[in-house]
Every structure is written in C-alpha cells, then in structure tokens.
Amino acid sequence: MHPCTGYNFQRNQSEVNVPWIWLPSSNNGNIPDHVVESGLEADLKLYVARGKLDNIWIPGKFDGTSQKCYISWKGKEHVVANYEILIDPDDKRLRWIPSSQGLLVDKAVLGGVNEVGETFYIGRAWHNGANIPGRIHPSHRVCYIPSGGKEQHYVTYQILVSS
C-alpha cells in the first residue's frame, strides 16, 4: 500500500517515506492548504492532480475554478470524478526542474503506475502560454498533458522532484 493514499503501487524502497501527500477529492469547493501549483491557464490557477481512469491513477491538472480534474489518456483529454490533489505539507519540499525525452532524476515525484507496471511521474509542459501539469511516461520519452480536449505531448518539459 502507498503510505500516503492506501493504494497499491509498485514502488522501490526509496518511495516509502515520501514528503508529499495525495489528498482525495472532497468536492467541497475549497482548495486545500499546501496544494502544489503548476501555473496559470487563461488566468485560472492550475494544480497538480491525478485522476483514476480504467483503474489507473494518471497525473493531470486540477482547475480550482471549475473544480474539475483533467487527465490525458489514449489521445484524449478526460474529466474524471475520482481524483487526488498533490499536497506539499512543508510548502518547500517539491520543486520543478528541466528534463526531456523521458529522462528521470533522483527524487522524482511518483504519479501512478499503468496496467503493465510502468511508473508515471509528475511533469509539466509549456503549452499555449501556460505550464500545464501532466504525466511523464518514461518509455514514451515524453510528458503528456491534457488540453483542448486532446492529449498533447512534449519532449522537453519540467519534472517535479523533492528536495
């Protein structure tokens, strides 16, 4: 079981005592304290989130204004009702660093695991003037983001890491 969520993830021993928390959605209209921001899209704040689709946790974005979680999967952008928001309890333990082509770094933030056991990590890409969070899919060597009803992909992006 994942120590922060109670969900089963394949993980290595270094991911047992992680400095972040995945907070399940409450749909109460409040943005939790210490939420991890990604940037602005059309003057709306975006937050790092992950949603469950096809029994897989997939990193994506949470729009605090619409109170919706968006993920990209199999070429499309999806709105999901079952989601979690990323929390940095210390407000300074997580940071964005440049990366590209599926390269991973030490202390990258885990976002989920697909149906064949491949780990997804949290990334964000600059798209249409906004830093949009999504999933780094290492074997595909890209960061996928949800935007405009589609799954967009970028070979250069930022990866979220713990300090």
**Can you give the pTM of this predicted structure?**
0.86
108-146 per-position pLDDT tens digit? 999 999 999 999 999 999 999 999 999 999 999 999 999
pLDDT bracket for residue 16 (50, 70, 90): low
Q: Which residues, 6 or more positions from 153, have their beta carbon under 8 angstroms from its beta carbon?
A: 140, 142, 143, 144, 145
121-130 per-position pLDDT tens digit? 999 999 999 9
- Residue ranges per domain, the chain? 13-162
54-95 per-position pLDDT tens digit? 999 999 999 988 899 999 999 999 999 999 999 998 877 899
**Rounded to whole angstroms, how far apart are CA atoms 41 and 54?**
27
Q: Would you give the end-to-end CA distance of the chain in angstroms?
A: 23
Residue 15, classed as helix, strand or coil, is helix
Locate tokens 């003057």: which residue? 43
Nearest to 84 by CA among 51, 56, 113: 51
**Rounded to whole angstroms, how far apart are CA atoms 46 and 64?**
7
Q: What pLDDT does residue 30 have? A: 78
